């Protein structure tokens, strides 16, 4: 439950940084670009991995890999869908 709030906090801080960067960009282009860059880094290198770790907890990665077994399951599912239509 705590991870959810950490991800939300990082997301809000990053979005705030990006918005602030765009607001001050006219007066201070270098400073604005730094805030925009920091917000982008926060979103993609901090918030996204934390979110993915939180959401993938307890899931078996083998279910999401392309193995012969999973390919057979997908083909069987396709055949069943084709028959139903």
Residue 58: predicted pLDDT: 83
Domain total in the chain = 1
Distance CA 59, CA 35 (A): 36
| 20, burial (CB in 10 Å: exposed 0-12, middle 13-18, buried 19+) | middle
Residue 50: predicted pLDDT: 93
For the chain, residues with pLDDT lower than 50 are none
Q: Which domain holds residue 71?
A: 2-84
Quick count: other Cβ atoms within 10 Å of Cβ 35? 20
Residue 47: predicted pLDDT: 94
Using an 8 Å Cβ cutoff, are 15 and 55 in contact?
Answer: no
Residue 83: predicted pLDDT: 76
- The pTM (predicted TM-score) of the whole model is 0.70
44: left (phi over 0), alpha (psi -120 to 50) or beta: alpha
Residue 22: predicted pLDDT: 97
């Amino acid at each position: 439950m705590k991870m959810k709030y950490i991800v939300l906090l990082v997301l809000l801080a990053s979005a705030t940084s990006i918005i602030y960067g765009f607001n001050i960009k006219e007066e201070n282009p270098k400073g604005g670009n730094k805030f925009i860059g920091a917000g982008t880094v926060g979103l993609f290198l901090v918030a996204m991995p934390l979110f993915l770790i939180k959401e993938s907890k307890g899931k078996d990665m083998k279910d999401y890999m392309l193995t012969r077994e999973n390919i057979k399951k997908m083909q069987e599912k396709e055949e069943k869908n084709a028959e139903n239509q």
